[in-house]
Structure 1
């Protein structure tokens, strides 16, 4: 499948937290994240719910900082308690040139309060 993104666009890869999947909350939260601040029928993940493409690093940070998971969807270690767990681990991939990429874990993504 051909992607609509440029090869130098930053990419966010999510390794889901199994608790969110078990609580049937992961897909709903990621659908909201994939469409946050986009026009109807647009997604930044091409339905993967794990790999998200952004135009630039500013858009990535704007979405990260503006996105909020409603409390009703937040997974918790013990159901009914207020001890939320992250949706998953987030990794940023940025291509720097034809043969070089940079990637690292971003601990600011998806830690709900």
Structure 2
């Protein structure tokens, strides 16, 4: 079940990474949301892997105590206590502009938003994963996670 989700998101992942990601997702408590972030190759080409990794570190540590991470150093799978924490992290990072050029403003809305960004693409694609019960897993792409509207 978890392996299918990881394979669907990370089509090109090596088997060692698939095992690591499956273990990390399967370790979540029932109903705790997980965000899986897949990098956008265009964003990485524009800004580089160092900027991408620094951005993922923001998701990993935002609003946590020293030396705590919500991603187990994966920089792609982020555990949250509940939906409220997930949105607090997302909103806080976006509103404080902690990830320069990480959030995309659709062209039709750029004149209305004063973020000072002209980012042509979002940093990645975010997938929400929630373990509803032992044999059922809910999983979908959150198409607005990296968009400001």
Q: Answer yes or no: is the 8 Å Cα contact 1:92–1:106 preserved in 2.
A: yes
Q: Answer yes or no: is the 8 Å Cα contact 2:131–2:138 preserved in 1.
A: yes
- How many pairs align? 107
2:130 matched residue in structure 1: 94
Q: Tell me the TM-score normalised to structure 2 length.
A: 0.61
Q: Say what the alpha-carbon RMSD is for the aligned residues.
A: 2.5
Summarize the alignment of residues 1-113 of structure 1 with structure 2, pairs less than 5 Å apart: 6-8=28-30, 9-22=32-45, 23-24=47-48, 25-68=51-94, 69-70=97-98, 73-74=100-101, 82-111=118-147
Q: Structure 2: how far apart are the matches of 1:20 and 1:63?
A: 21
The secondary structure found in structure 2 opposite 1:42 is coil
- The structure with the larger Rg is 2
Q: Answer yes or no: is the 8 Å Cα contact 2:59–2:78 preserved in 1.
A: no
Stretch deviating more after TM superposition (22-31 or 40-49): 22-31
The answer to which structure, 1 or 2, has the higher relative contact order (CA under 8 A, 6+ apart) is 1
Q: Answer yes or no: is the 8 Å Cα contact 1:21–1:27 preserved in 2.
A: no
Give how far 1:112 is off.
Answer: 5.3
Bigger proportion of residues as helix: 2
Q: Tell me the TM-score normalised to structure 1 length.
A: 0.79
Report runs of 4+ in structure 1 exceeding 3 Å deviation: none
Structure 1 unaligned segments of length 5 or more: list them: none
Q: Structure 1: how far apart are the matches of 2:120 and 2:66?
A: 30
Structure 2 unaligned segments of length 5 or more: list them: 1-19, 105-116
Q: Deviations over 1:39-90 (max 9, x none)?
A: 111111111111101111221121112212447x3269xxxx8244111111
